[in-house]
Amino acid sequence: MHKPVLGIIGGVGPLATAYFMQLLIQKTEAHTDQENMPMIVFNDPQIPDRTSYILDNAEPDPLPELVKVAQWLQNAGADFLAIPCNTAHYFYDSISESVSIPLVNILQETADVIAKKTNKHATVGLMATRGTIASNLYQGYFAQLGMDVKIPTEAEQDLLMGLIYDCVKANRPYDENVLLNIAHNMHDKGCDTVIIGCTELSVIYQNLAQKPAWLIDALDVLAETCCMIYKLARDEDNACDM
């Protein structure tokens, strides 16, 4: 029996990659070591910063290294790919075209999950890097679903960027209440759902004492999707072996 192998384009950032692997293990329906999902992880922290490039194309381009890692994972035996980084999905089409195996789209999957949980004309709050917000990718997915996207105030965005770059990426302490307070502010201002749309913020999200039902973590959605892909393929293989 062949168990599908997940290839993870990691290092963007490193701690978020480690947390993603933890989520996958926790969410996989497994009772033994052998039932867990096989993974190949290329943790490449040398990939240039995605937000820096999106905001200024004169900065180093992450795409060549992202493509290199994707192709390496495919050649190493991965059956499908995932990137635990929302901002990196700015390059989603180019990365997908560079390989012949599927690349799970965290933005599309998150939009679909929220669409199923809310009404058609819901307003979605987006907490993410400036690069993700500037790319307008999330906004595009939700517009196709008839939903509006609201972003934090400039002061709130400064606080979020501090959490992402000065705390999690820098491996320094953070106050998770900063994240929660911004989410509550956006919800109070009319956002039916608020997305944790940066995987460094997902690292903080896991430590929240309270997780409101309207607060959706995109990395959690990505892990759920990968586990479902694995389960469906495993079940299909088991049926063929009978």
Same domain, 125 and 101: no
Catalytic pick among 167, 191, 198, 226: 198
pLDDT value of position 238: 62
State the first-to-last Cα distance of the chain, in angstroms, to the nearest integer: 11
Mark whether 227 is an active-site residue. Answer: no
Radius of gyration of the chain (CA): 18
- Containing structural domain, residue 172: 106-218
Same domain, 90 and 176: no
pLDDT value of position 235: 73
Over residues 48-94, the pLDDT tens digits come to 999 999 999 999 999 999 999 999 999 999 999 999 999 999 999 99
pLDDT value of position 239: 58
Residue 80 belongs to a domain: yes
Q: Which phi and psi angles does 156 have, rounded to 5°?
A: -65, -40
CATH number for position 168: 3.40.50.1860
Same domain, 168 and 212: yes
Same domain, 142 and 160: yes
Same domain, 95 and 144: no
pLDDT value of position 127: 98
Contact 90, 130 (CB under 8 A): no
Q: Whose CA is closest to 118, among 210, 212, 188, 214? A: 214
Q: pTM score, two decimals?
A: 0.94
Q: Whose CA is closest to 75, among 20, 12, 138, 5? A: 5
Counting as low any pLDDT under 50, the low residues of the chain are 1
Mark whether 198 is an active-site residue. Answer: yes
